[in-house]
């Protein structure tokens, strides 16, 4: 006998269909159910790594990737817009290099949610869960590190310079997952991670000897029990020693090994160095690298702050343009773009109306995300906002949809159940669906 | 249907299934069937229960689909306007009530993105229909819910998987009482312990205790639900103690059948008390002296009393208060920050009562660079921001939600919030001066009317306005009747000493987040007030208990307990304390720029002194509150820094190792000395044997001693206060 129920031609079993009948009566459509079951989405994942460029503070969609040149002056960006390599798609004039690589980018213009504080908005975007005080959800980077475990010496999840994003919301941390799955913070020097080698005068063999002593001392001590509190500390020590043992992994953290030409290409900015290091880390086996660029909370003087009016060619937009376009080009040239998903986003968009100070305030109803690589079909725009950029007019995409999509592209099952330290089963994501047409 | 809204829909589908179940089960009658229900008390609760005005639906700040309701119905009059008048009254059809958009949408007779909320067969649907048939009256404007009570409010179920049906009674302004069990909203504060069903069914799914939060018509209540850890009776581990704190902790352990750990050793006690009370390790000499002979309870008390008089106590608690007050140095000049810090330090040294300290801060004026407490007002210039800081610091309350709408988990309304903020409306900063003037208002966000200040939760201003509004605020806040003031500080100190607050998080005190031991928190607060808001008294009261002096080792059975104090919880050392401990053990002090040699990290003023060690160890930046434990640092970067970085490695050659070598100490003496310094104990036989072997096989004594010191500073035992 067959052990599974008979399958109809369209792939829905009879039992499912009966079940479906009930659900339909309750207002669930067939497409909902199919999506709930994860029937949509990519086939075999092509992405093995993800680089997230996080624009901390909430980047203005109107002044970057969703310009509204036709809107009245109190809404329109102070900057002009330019055509891109994708016909019909225009972006901000200060993103000229990016305009040339838009053929690799799927631009989502209809990201929307309702959490207008930095901390809650960032947690929503970075975890795919609406924040609640009852449970700290893990960041996508931590989930990826947890699910795509590897024995590599390279830490699976790395943050440049650190994971204190969204007003230090904890959104980029491990949440209820063990601390071992939180990000390795590279630190403030974007050209080199510190403390990777034994100190001067200590050989690797002496370092090994000390490590051995440490194991024995901890084993002999009865004062502090191993428990949930100590576990994460112990795991970090383990990880540290694995990293120290691999000269290859250590080298990945050193930008001095790149030629001057490559460094110029990414721009001699912190963001440029961060993007270049992210590329090196992904090349060396890191799974998820978050590069944080701060200063996007532009409540005032967008016209002077985004491109720095004192130093032409510098400022937030030019350095982003430089680093982001270089990252995509460099990954493509090295054949890494197919296996590396690059995500560009922040916690929300900004108010369509310019405020009295020439800035824009928080606006979670509308925002943008750029997805590239990792099997994503570039050269397309998904969703749109209305004429004034206030709210999605087409295909609203929620943070859980985005999280769902990122995880699926990386081969992580969003429906999988994880377990909290208290023993409670929690799905990787509670909601969300794959953004169709993306791959 | 377009692919577009599917993501949102997935969430709604689940909500909907839950709500259909509610609706099918039928809703009990609130008002009699004949009289049309009043909007506020009879109709709005039905919509709230159906989820219509939830934050993800029409309760969102911008509404949904052009229809906005106030979040969870906090503004009934406006909701009534929107339902009956907006859009030309299309939502209500008095001529053909069943055709009302409100009903056709919510029952999904026509497309409704939010799904079917009120099925036509449900009683809720019939009641709304009945209300529209009666002309959709608002009903009495005065009739409102004054409060709700839940019963039982504290219940112990015999085991997991048992449940209790909560009953909720509303007290109305006309003196009547109504059973609103079916209409209230329920949520569990910890659903790994208790699950709350939509009808008030609380089911225990894990041992321990938590609370179920109940909300109805702007009012909140909570019920504590618990179940025991084990099946067998346990001995009260604190039975021998007469202390009132021990009696309460012990009774709860017995009730929940959690076995207690034994008492801490003298060594463990000495180390713990030093770290908690003065933020530093005992020296090797202090350890030797205390461990000379077994110590009595009185000896331990004397040790605590001595610590409370130490100069380091003043440094350490100044740091804790500076963390609380966010004295970062980023909001004023270096001089002003120093003056502020010195002022706080002087209060700690003088043991200024905490209420007096709060009053001084709340009413301060003057020159930032001369009058320390005036720097309190550099926290924010907007009165609302200032009110939020004051609420967090002194009341342990998060009032920010009520800025834009009624607080969803507390009783504060938007008006409460803005009236509270009005106390700060007349403070201004002019260059280096903080002054309190006669002009400045906080307006009601809707009406634009200037608001008279009013204490949080009060119905009317309690006293006539003086020249400075803040005087009245400070008087109210520190009055013995404002128990939240004393509970907030007592809870913070309790967490500092015991490793977990009676209320967690410590900046989220509210009726719906009750303490693990409500009676104990109340008693501690009362005792604190009765003893003149004396922080030293409070610290001493906690430190002398057997509960504080339990061992941290678990018995196995109490391993899972993390909130009933069956054993001492491991505490991570604050970043400055670890750094100072490393300096103390190695005898190599830090050199902080701008400070004299030997200055310790806990003494630093503000947080601008550059120190990678403090950053990676996770110092509180004081930009935002560190209450939630959301500190930076730690992780792999910290492990690498401890292993390879200079914080430890640059201190191994000079300092203690050099001194011991110069004295010609034997390997054994070195091992003993290092154990006493780092761990406040002598090595056990196995440890001594192990390291003596190591010394014997090492190429030279210096290297062996350095390696041992490195190992001790990286060990698990060193990293925790246990």
Residues of A in contact with B572 (CB under 8 A): 229
In our burial notation (b when 16+ CB lie closer than 10 A, e otherwise), range A123-148 reads: bbbbbbbbbeeebbbbbbbbbbbbbb
Confidence (pLDDT) at A368: 98
**Nearest CA distance, B582 vs chain A (angstrom):** 17
Residues of A in contact with B711 (CB under 8 A): 210, 213-214, 217
Mean pLDDT of B654-665: 96
Answer yes or no: do A431 and B10 touch at CB < 8 A: yes
Q: What are phi and psi of A198, to 5 degrees?
A: -55, 150
Cα–Cα dist B675/A217, whole Å: 11
| Partner B contacted by A436 (CB < 8 A) | yes
For residue A19, being part of any structural domain is answered with no
| Partner B contacted by A394 (CB < 8 A) | yes
**Nearest CA distance, B192 vs chain A (angstrom):** 6
| Residues of A (138-167) whose Cβ lies below 8 Å from B | 155, 162, 164, 167
Q: SS3 sequence, B217-239?
A: CCEEEEEEEEECCCCCCCCCCCC
What number of C-beta contacts closer than 8 Å exist between A and B?
215
Q: Which residue out of A39, A200, A217 would a mutagenesis test of the B interface target, given it has the greatest number of B Cβ atoms within 10 Å? A: A217
For residue A237, being part of any structural domain is answered with no
CB B138 within 8 A of CB B128: no
Answer yes or no: do A220 and B684 touch at CB < 8 A: yes
pLDDT higher than 70, residue B20 = no
| Residues of A (8-37) whose Cβ lies below 8 Å from B | 26-29, 31-32, 35-36
For residue A356, being part of any structural domain is answered with yes
Question: In a 3-state reduction of DSSP, which class is residue A187?
Answer: coil
| Residues of A (93-112) whose Cβ lies below 8 Å from B | 110
Hey, what are B464's tokens? Answer: 């006539």
Sorted by where each starts, the structural domains of chain B and their CATH numbers stand as: 6-133 (no CATH), 145-227 (2.60.40.1080), 266-309+483-568 (no CATH), 353-477 (no CATH), 575-721 (no CATH)
**Nearest CA distance, B464 vs chain A (angstrom):** 37
Q: Which residue out of B643, B645, B720 would a mutagenesis test of the A interface target, given it has the greatest number of A Cβ atoms within 10 Å? A: B643
For residue A137, being part of any structural domain is answered with yes
**Nearest CA distance, A185 vs chain B (angstrom):** 6
Report strand pairing: A367-372 vs A105-111.
antiparallel
For residue A417, the cross-strand partners are A427
Residues of B in contact with A433 (CB under 8 A): 6-7, 10
| Partner B contacted by A430 (CB < 8 A) | yes
Query: Which is nearest to B483 in space by CA: B515, B460, B437, B459?
Result: B515
Which of A26, A202, A396 is the closest to B8 by Cβ? A396
**Nearest CA distance, A121 vs chain B (angstrom):** 14
Quote the domain boundaries for residue A113.
Answer: 40-193+253-427
> H or E element: which one contains B640?
helix B635-644
Answer yes or no: do B115 and A27 touch at CB < 8 A: yes
Contacts of B499 (CB under 8 A, 6+ apart): B568, B569, B570, B571
DSSP, res B36: P
Q: Cα separations (Å) of B454 from B411, B458, B465?
A: 15, 7, 10
> How many other C-beta atoms lie within 10 A of the C-beta of residue B520?
22
ipTM associated with this complex: 0.84
For residue A225, being part of any structural domain is answered with no
> H or E element: which one contains A413?
none
pLDDT higher than 70, residue B34 = no
* Tens-digit pLDDT string for chain A (439 aa): 333 333 222 333 333 333 333 333 333 344 444 444 444 566 677 899 999 999 999 999 999 999 999 999 999 999 999 999 999 999 999 999 999 999 999 999 999 999 998 989 999 999 999 887 667 899 999 999 999 877 788 999 999 998 888 876 788 988 888 777 889 989 888 778 889 999 999 999 999 999 999 999 999 998 998 887 788 888 889 989 999 999 999 999 999 999 999 999 999 999 999 999 999 999 999 999 999 999 999 999 998 889 887 777 789 999 999 999 999 999 999 999 999 999 999 999 999 999 999 999 999 999 999 999 999 999 999 999 999 999 999 999 999 999 999 999 999 999 998 987 766 678 999 999 999 999 9
Hey, what are B162's tokens? Answer: 């048992």
Taking CA–CA distances from B704, the nearest residue in chain A reads: A210
Which of A27, A134, A199 is the closest to B108 by Cβ? A27
Alpha helices per DSSP H over B311-443: 311-325, 334-350, 354-362, 383-395, 414-421
Q: What is the pTM of this model?
A: 0.82
pLDDT higher than 90, residue B540 = yes
| Partner B contacted by A132 (CB < 8 A) | no
Hey, what are B614's tokens? Answer: 């403090």
Question: In a 3-state reduction of DSSP, which class is residue B177?
Answer: strand
Answer yes or no: do B10 and A394 touch at CB < 8 A: no
For residue A90, being part of any structural domain is answered with yes
CB B413 within 8 A of CB B403: no
Which of A229, A240, A397 is the closest to B7 by Cβ? A397
Structural domain count of chain A: 1
CB A359 within 8 A of CB A302: yes
Residues of B in contact with A182 (CB under 8 A): 635
For residue A223, being part of any structural domain is answered with no
Answer yes or no: do A199 and B644 touch at CB < 8 A: yes
Answer yes or no: do A133 and B191 touch at CB < 8 A: no
Answer yes or no: do B55 and A187 touch at CB < 8 A: no
Residues of A in contact with B401 (CB under 8 A): none
| Partner B contacted by A223 (CB < 8 A) | yes
CATH code for the domain of A418: 3.40.720
Q: Cα separations (Å) of B145 from A54, A113, B42, B395?
A: 46, 33, 11, 26
For residue A11, being part of any structural domain is answered with no
Contacts of B461 (CB under 8 A, 6+ apart): B452, B453, B454, B455, B472
């Amino acid at each position: 006998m067959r052990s599974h129920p008979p399958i109809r031609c369209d792939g829905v079993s009879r039992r499912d269909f009966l079940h479906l009948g009930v659900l339909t009566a309750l207002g669930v459509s067939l497409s909902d159910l199919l999506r709930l079951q994860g029937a949509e989405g990519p086939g075999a994942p092509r992405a093995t790594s993800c680089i997230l460029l996080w624009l901390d503070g909430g980047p203005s969609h109107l002044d970057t990737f969703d310009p509204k040149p036709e809107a009245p002056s109190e809404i329109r960006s102070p900057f002009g817009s330019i055509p891109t390599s994708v016909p019909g798609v225009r972006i901000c004039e200060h993103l000229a290099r990016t305009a040339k690589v838009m053929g690799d980018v799927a631009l989502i213009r209809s990201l929307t949610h309702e959490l207008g504080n930095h901390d809650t908005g960032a947690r929503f975007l970075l975890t795919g869960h609406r924040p609640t005080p009852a449970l700290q959800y893990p960041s996508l980077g931590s989930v990826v590190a947890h699910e795509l475990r590897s024995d590599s010496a390279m830490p699976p999840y790395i943050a440049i310079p650190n994971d204190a994003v969204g007003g230090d919301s904890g959104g980029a941390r491990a949440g209820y997952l063990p601390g071992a799955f939180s990000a390795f913070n590279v630190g403030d020097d974007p050209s080199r991670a510190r403390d990777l080698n034994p100190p001067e005068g200590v050989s690797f063999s002496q370092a090994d000897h000390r490590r051995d002593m440490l194991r024995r001392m901890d084993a002999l001590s009865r004062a502090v029990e191993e428990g949930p509190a100590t576990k994460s500390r112990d795991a970090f020590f383990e990880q540290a020693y694995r990293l120290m043992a691999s000269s290859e992994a250590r080298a990945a953290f050193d930008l001095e090994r790149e030629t001057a030409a490559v460094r110029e290409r990414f721009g001699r900015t912190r963001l440029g160095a961060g993007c270049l290091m992210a590329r090196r880390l992904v090349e060396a086996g890191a799974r998820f690298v978050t590069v944080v660029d701060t200063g996007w909370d532009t409540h005032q003087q967008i016209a002077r702050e985004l491109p720095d009016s004192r130093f032409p060619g510098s400022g937030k937009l030019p350095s982003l343009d430089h680093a982001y376009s270089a990252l995509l080009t460099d990954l493509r040239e090295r054949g890494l773009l197919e296996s590396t998903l690059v995500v560009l986003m922040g916690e929300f968009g900004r108010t369509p109306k310019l405020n009295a100070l020439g800035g824009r305030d928080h606006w979670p109803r509308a925002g943008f995300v750029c997805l590239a690589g990792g099997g994503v079909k570039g050269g397309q725009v998904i969703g749109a906002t209305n004429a004034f950029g206030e709210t999605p007019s087409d295909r609203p995409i929620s943070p859980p949809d985005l999280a769902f999509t990122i995880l699926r592209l990386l081969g992580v099952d969003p429906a999988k159940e994880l377990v909290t330290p208290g023993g409670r089963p929690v799905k990787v994501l509670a909601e969300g669906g794959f953004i169709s047409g993306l791959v | 249907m377009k692919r577009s809204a599917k993501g949102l829909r997935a969430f709604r589908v689940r909500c909907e299934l839950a709500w259909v179940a509610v609706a099918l089960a039928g809703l009990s009658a609130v008002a009699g069937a004949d009289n049309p229900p009043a909007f506020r008390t009879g109709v709005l609760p039905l919509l709230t229960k159906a989820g219509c005005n939830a934050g993800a639906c029409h309760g969102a700040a911008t509404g949904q689909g052009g229809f906005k309701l106030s979040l969870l119905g906090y503004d009934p009059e406006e909701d009534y306007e929107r339902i009956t008048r907006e859009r030309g009254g299309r939502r209500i059809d008095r001529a053909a009530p069943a055709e009302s958009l409100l009903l056709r949408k919510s029952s999904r007779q026509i497309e409704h993105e939010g799904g079917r909320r009120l099925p036509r067969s449900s009683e809720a649907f019939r009641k709304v229909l009945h209300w529209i048939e009666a002309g959709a009256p608002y009903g009495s404007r005065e009739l409102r819910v004054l409060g709700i009570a839940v019963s039982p409010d504290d219940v112990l179920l015999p085991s997991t998987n048992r449940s209790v049906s909560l009953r909720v009674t509303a007290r109305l302004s006309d003196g009547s009482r109504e059973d609103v069990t079916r209409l209230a909203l329920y949520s569990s504060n910890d659903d790994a312990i208790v699950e709350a069903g939509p009808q008030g069914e609380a089911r225990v799914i894990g041992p321990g205790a938590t609370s179920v939060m109940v909300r109805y018509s702007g009012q909140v209540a909570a019920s504590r639900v618990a179940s025991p850890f084990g099946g067998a009776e346990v001995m009260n581990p604190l039975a021998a103690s007469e202390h009132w704190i021990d009696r309460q902790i012990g009774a709860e352990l017995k009730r929940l059948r959690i076995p207690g750990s034994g008492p801490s050793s003298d060594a463990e006690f000495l180390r713990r008390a030093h770290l908690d009370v003065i933020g530093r390790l005992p020296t090797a000499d202090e350890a030797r002296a205390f461990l000379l002979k077994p110590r009595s309870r009185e000896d331990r008390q004397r040790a605590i009393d001595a610590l409370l008089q130490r100069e380091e106590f003043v440094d350490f608690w100044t740091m804790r208060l500076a963390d609380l007050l966010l004295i970062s140095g980023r909001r004023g000049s270096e001089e002003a920050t120093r003056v502020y810090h010195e002022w706080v330090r002087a209060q700690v040294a003088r043991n200024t009562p905490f209420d007096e300290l709060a009053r001084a801060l709340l009413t301060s004026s003057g020159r930032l660079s001369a009058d320390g407490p005036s720097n309190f007002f550099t926290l924010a210039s907007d009165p609302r921001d200032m009110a939020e800081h004051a609420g967090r610091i002194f009341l342990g309350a998060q009032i920010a939600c009520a800025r834009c709408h009624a607080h969803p988990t507390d009783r504060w309304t938007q008006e409460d919030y803005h009236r509270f903020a009005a106390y700060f409306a007349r403070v201004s900063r002019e260059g280096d001066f903080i002054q309190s003037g006669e002009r400045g208002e906080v307006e009601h966000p809707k009406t634009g009317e200037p608001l008279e200040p009013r204490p949080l939760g009060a119905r009317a201003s309690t006293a006539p306005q003086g020249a400075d509004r803040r005087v009245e605020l400070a008087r109210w806040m520190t009055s013995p009747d404002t128990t939240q003031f004393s509970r907030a500080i007592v809870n913070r100190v309790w967490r500092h000493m015991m490793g977990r607050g009676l209320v967690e998080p410590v900046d989220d005190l509210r009726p719906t987040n009750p303490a693990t031991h409500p009676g104990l928190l109340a008693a501690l607060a009362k005792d604190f007030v009765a003893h003149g808001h004396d922080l030293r008294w409070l610290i001493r009261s906690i430190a002398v208990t057997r509960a504080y002096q339990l061992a941290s080792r678990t018995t196995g059975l109490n391993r899972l307990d993390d909130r009933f104090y069956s054993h001492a919880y491991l505490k991570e050392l604050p970043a400055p304390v670890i750094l100072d401990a490393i300096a103390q053990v190695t005898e190599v002090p830090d050199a902080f720029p701008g400070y004299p040699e030997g200055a310790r990290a806990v003494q630093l003023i503000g947080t601008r002194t550059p120190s990678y060690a403090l950053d990676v160890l996770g110092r509180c930046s004081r930009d935002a509150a560190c209450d939630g434990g959301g500190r930076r640092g730690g992780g792999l970067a910290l492990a690498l820094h401890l292993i390879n970085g200079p914080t430890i490695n640059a201190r191994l050659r000079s300092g203690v190792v050099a001194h011991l070598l110069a004295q010609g100490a034997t390997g054994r003496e070195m091992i003993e000395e290092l154990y006493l310094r780092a761990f406040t104990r002598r090595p056990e036989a196995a440890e001594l044997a192990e390291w003596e072997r190591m010394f014997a096989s090492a190429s030279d004594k210096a290297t062996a001693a350095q390696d041992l010191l490195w190992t001790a500073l990286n060990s698990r035992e060193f990293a925790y206060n246990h």
